[in-house]
Amino acid sequence: MSADEAPGLYVESTIIMTTVRVVAPFVLTFALFIMFHGADSPGGGFQGGVITGSVVMMLAFAFGIDSTRQWLDVRIVAALASGGVLVFAGIGLGAIALGGQFLQYNVYKPYYYEASKYGIELVELGIGGIVASVAIGLFFLLAAGFGYVTGEGER
Amino acid sequence: MTPVEWAIVALAALGAFFSGVAAIGIIRLPDVYTRAHAASKSDTLGAVLTIAAAALALETGLSTAKAVFLLVFMFLTNPTAAHAVARAAKDQGIEPWTTENDQ
């Protein structure tokens, strides 16, 4: 590495950027597929959420962490996490409010005919949102620590 | 055996062979660049041939389509990952191994 190049400065590679650009939509679709199929086949909200988080990490590897931070505001990540918790708790406590047990989906039946199926799907989506945003947030924190340390290394 | 069965056996055997070559390469080669070379080329070919055998062996339909998708993405992402590893190693200033290092 030449001396005038700042340590940790990442120059994007065309090959990686192109591959990520091609692959990312498919991976996101696959993550949703895993989330929605969690009820009746292998998969579920946790696995789908981790795949969603890995898409953001892939984008950060290809395009640099700073531009990913600009593109994906931390407030959006926090909103996704709390929104997931709200969806999960809302569906679970709503069943209690309607006179059932926690997460007893069939009490929603009078309002929607396939309540059990879509109740499970919504809870999986909520879990997926929580897991994805926590994975992304942890990644952002780790990346910030790395930048901080290399910035300090100048002395 | 039918020709399709012969093709499945041949593809699976070739895939196992190339995966073995990749494993030997990762253990025996001296530095990160040559190991990335072994991991990207032979391992991709081994995985792709094995998945192709699986795609032939599965009954035609959704499973075959999934296997073909897996094959295509394996072919795209595996060399890219090796490229990223080699690039990161170059960024970190790791010198490539040459025969001079051995003397």
The pTM assigned to this predicted structure is 0.74
Residue B46 near residue B22, CB atoms below 8 Å: yes
User: Tell me: the pLDDT tens digits for B22-34?
Assistant: 999 999 988 889 8
pLDDT for position A52: 93
Shortest Cα distance, chain B CAs vs residue A96, angstroms: 40
> In angstroms, rounded to a whole number, what is the distance separating the alpha carbons of residues B98 and B100?
5
| CB contact (8 A) between residue B84 and residue A26 | no
Average pLDDT, chain A: 81
pLDDT for position A38: 73
Enumerate the domain spans of chain A.
Answer: 14-152
Shortest Cα distance, chain A CAs vs residue B3, angstroms: 34
pLDDT for position B44: 92
Kindly state whether A150 is in contact with chain B, defined as any CB-CB distance less than 8 angstroms. no
Shortest Cα distance, chain A CAs vs residue B4, angstroms: 30
| CB contact (8 A) between residue A16 and residue B92 | no
Kindly state whether B80 is in contact with chain A, defined as any CB-CB distance less than 8 angstroms. yes
pLDDT beneath 70: ranges in chain A: 1-11, 39, 145-155
- DSSP notation for B9-76: HHHHHHHHHHHHHHHHHHHHS-SHHHHHHHHHHHHHHHHHHHHHHHHHHSPTTHHHHHHHHHHHHHHH
**pLDDT for B42 beyond 80:** yes
Residue bearing tokens 């919504």: A122
